[in-house]
Amino acid sequence: MTPSFLSGLNDAQLEAVTLPQQSALILAGAGSGKTRVLTTRMAWLIQTGQVSPMSLLAVTFTNKAAKEMLTRLSAMLPINTRGMWVGTFHGLCNRMLRAHYREAGLPQLFQILDTQDQLALIKRLMKSMNLDEERYPPRQAQWFIAAQKEEGKRAEKVEPYDDFSRRMAEFYAEYDRQCQREGVVDFAELLLHSYELLARNDALREHYAGRFRHILVDEFQDTNRLQYRWLQLLAGQHNAIFAVGDDDQSIYGWRGASTANMQDLQRDFQIEKVIKLEQNYRSHGNILDAANALIAHNRRRLGKSLWTADAKGEPLRVFEAATDFEEAACVVDEVRSLRAEGARLADIAVLYRSNAQSRVIEHALFTAGMPYRVYGGLRFFERQEIKHALAYLRLVANQEDDGALLRIINFPTRGIGNRSLEQLQGVAKEAGISLWAAACANTLSGKAASSIAAFVKLIEAMRSATAGLPLPEVIEHVVEHSGLKAHYRNEKEGADRIENLDELVNAAAVFVDERATQLPAGGALPGIMNDAGGEALPEHMDELTAFLAHAALEAGEHQAAAGADALQLMTVHSAKGLEFHAVFITGLEEGLFPHENSMTEADGIEEERRLMYVALTRARRRLYLLLAQSRMLHGQTRYNVPSRFFQELPEALLSRVNHVRQAPGYAHARQLPPSYGAARGAARAVSMVPSLPRDFPWRIGQAVTHAKFGAGVIVNAEGGGADARVQVNFRDAGLKWLMLEYARLTAA
């Protein structure tokens, strides 16, 4: 009798679920029902008596996915799933090490260090070894150790290539010894220790190989090399690995994920046939056709083509906005239309490649009174790096701000510990003065005293240097000289934080423009006075104080409450695994998506294309592609070339709604929507454009093509007559200055 849980499977799904005991690679496209296939395979193996629930191993990448798998399984079969070996790599390795702590050489109650605990241990160890944290940043040591462990290397196996890596290898060895002394393990150690345990203990390895005759792996494309080797040990010579994954959705190369594991699996486990799940149950046909056309440009892929029995649906809607503010306004207007059609906000997603992009979108939603939620992250003004920067600015504006001082006096680290802070607070409390006043008096001794004196000097220098500067330049100066940027440059994922700090400068520039039309004659906003009362603060301090108030308001308002209907904002990386009725993909410009960092990496553009593929396949019914011809970056307007991905999408699948065609003089004539203050936006755009003679043949912002360099946008121009030249930002060749007499440019 055929089990009821097999009903409804398509032919490819049924073939995968009912495979005999053999290793298999299931190439599961987006929306093709991979979770159903995995759980149904587990149910089928148990129902047919091929394996008991306790003799089956299933690996997922998140605890949420593991719980969902067990919930579905218990709905198919009347079994108790408690105790089953279903979980993440780290969770399963922890379970194995707890059961065999003696053989692993660990204390019975060993503790697991989270990322922050590990960093604290590294800092403590560096201090005891008299290592200079500026020369050997603790976070870099943390990445170095994790990277070596993920490659399966202990300190003695590391091959240094310079003095820094040699010192890091020495520190790695000492770090390992310290962890052993304290009886603790970090996350990477869980997997490495478990791998080493199985590799050196034949009896234990044979025990688990005899127990787990079937090993199932979800999201196989996201496995790293050590995870694959761990699976190989567990599988041994006779066990079957049932791996489900999609090489087209491999977007975590920067975490060590390797699509090469798929090819290795086929070779090492002699897999002759790859089963492809290509029927999509999520998206309309046009969306899938676009995704297929795009990803076909990647050379190193196993190959599949998504299809659906559903309708073709609408074409993809392309909005080419004049500015990033218009882009955000387009999102607001279209979301309103979708709501009018009956769509819930929670079923609409706005995706962006970089976290920093969310600031302009958030501001538009805030202004429009539209509830939203940032998925998998914080709203712009709530992010750690932004709150640190704002604390520096608060202290520059007002030295009596104890909360701001406490947040940044030792960030970045400058040797002022908790004990020194307690002493400083004691002095302030006893004398009835602010912490700043106590810091200026500085009655402490030793290293803490000199560190506090240096901090006071830093704040005073920033206050003096920014006097009279425009607000964006104030923020730019404080962000740079506070040491925040230097600190985040030493973080593995610090690039996003630096982009957010740059976006804070953009936020200030926009705030100044918007505020210009709101100020009464005389320049100061009512209610912002100095300590004496009645007299307005100096103009630059007045602007800064007003901006800080604005930031606090946007940080404290409008994030939708849990469970409320709200628009979903997220990075494309965060969107993986999710689906929505309608999706907006914003910032589709060269250098942003694909990201400029990908241009110099071996697999960079292909991974960016996979990321775009993930973004496209999140949409069920409606998909919007948005780009801005100009975008604020580092407080300056940058003119953009449309993303190369547009050239890889069939034009027949696109509907260019509200398409803005660039023409000579465009940069001077563009208008922003009324909600953003057209006059202010146009004034800013003009101020960023060089003054050119009336008879100059080109205009800033104009799209052009060149016989050798291809498509580009004019971003600067100078001179006249035979000496006239233009600077063009080419999609593939980057920035070039060209003499007009010889350039042979043509309008795009």
Cα of first residue to Cα of last residue in the chain, in angstroms, is: 66
Phi then psi for 461, rounded to 5 degrees? -65, -40
3-state secondary structure of 81: coil
* Catalytic residue selected from 133, 186, 189, 218: 218
How far apart are alpha carbons 614 and 601 in whole angstroms? 20
Q: Would you tell me how many other CB atoms lie within 10 Å of the CB of residue 734?
A: 14
One of 186, 219, 324, 326 is an active-site residue; which one?
A: 219
Contact of 278 with 32, CB cutoff 8 Å: yes
Q: How far apart are CA 30 and CA 27, in angstroms?
A: 10
As a whole number of Å, the CA-based R_g of the chain is 29
Q: Which of 13, 34, 189, 320 is catalytic?
A: 34
Tokens 């005999």 found at: 20
- Tokens describing residue 358: 């969310």
Q: What is the DSSP string of 418-429?
A: HHHHHHHHHHHH
Q: What is the DSSP letter of 660?
A: P
- What is the rounded CA–CA span in Å between residue 151 and residue 103? 22
Beta strand 654-657 with 316-323 is parallel
Task: Estimate to the nearest angstrom the gap between the alpha carbon of 588 and the chain centroid.
Answer: 16
- Spot the catalytic one: 148, 249, 637, 662: 249
480 is catalytic: no
Whether 429 is a known active-site residue: answer: no
CA atoms within 13 A on the CB side of 231: 29
For residues 505 and 479, the answer to whether their CB atoms sit within 8 Å is yes
Exactly one of 213, 373, 576, 618 is catalytic; which is it? 618
633 token code pair:
């970056």
Residue 66 and residue 58: Cα distance in Å, rounded? 8
How many angstroms separate the CA atoms of 386 and 554, rounded?
A: 13
Q: Quote the CA–CA distance of 91 and 507 in Å, as a whole number.
A: 42
Known catalytic membership, residue 618: yes
- What is the full DSSP assignment across 133-196? TTTS-HHHHHHHHHHHHHTT--GGG----SHHHHHHHHHHHHHHHHHHHHTEEEHHHHHHHHHH
Q: Which two tokens stand for residue 283?
A: 């998206």
210: three-class secondary structure by DSSP: helix
Using alpha carbons, select from 233, 144, 153, 231 the residue that is nearest to residue 192: 153
Known catalytic membership, residue 384: no
Report the DSSP pairing between strands 24-28 and 580-585: unpaired
Q: Positive or negative CA dihedral for 618, 623, 628, 629?
A: positive
List CB contacts of 241: < 8 A, sequence separation 6 or more: 23, 24, 215, 216, 217, 231, 235, 265, 269
Instruction: Name which of 236, 279, 402 is nearest 11 in CA terms.
Output: 279
The answer to whether 545 is a known catalytic residue is no
- Identify whether 485 is a catalytic site residue: no
Which residues form the catalytic set? 34-35, 218-219, 249, 618
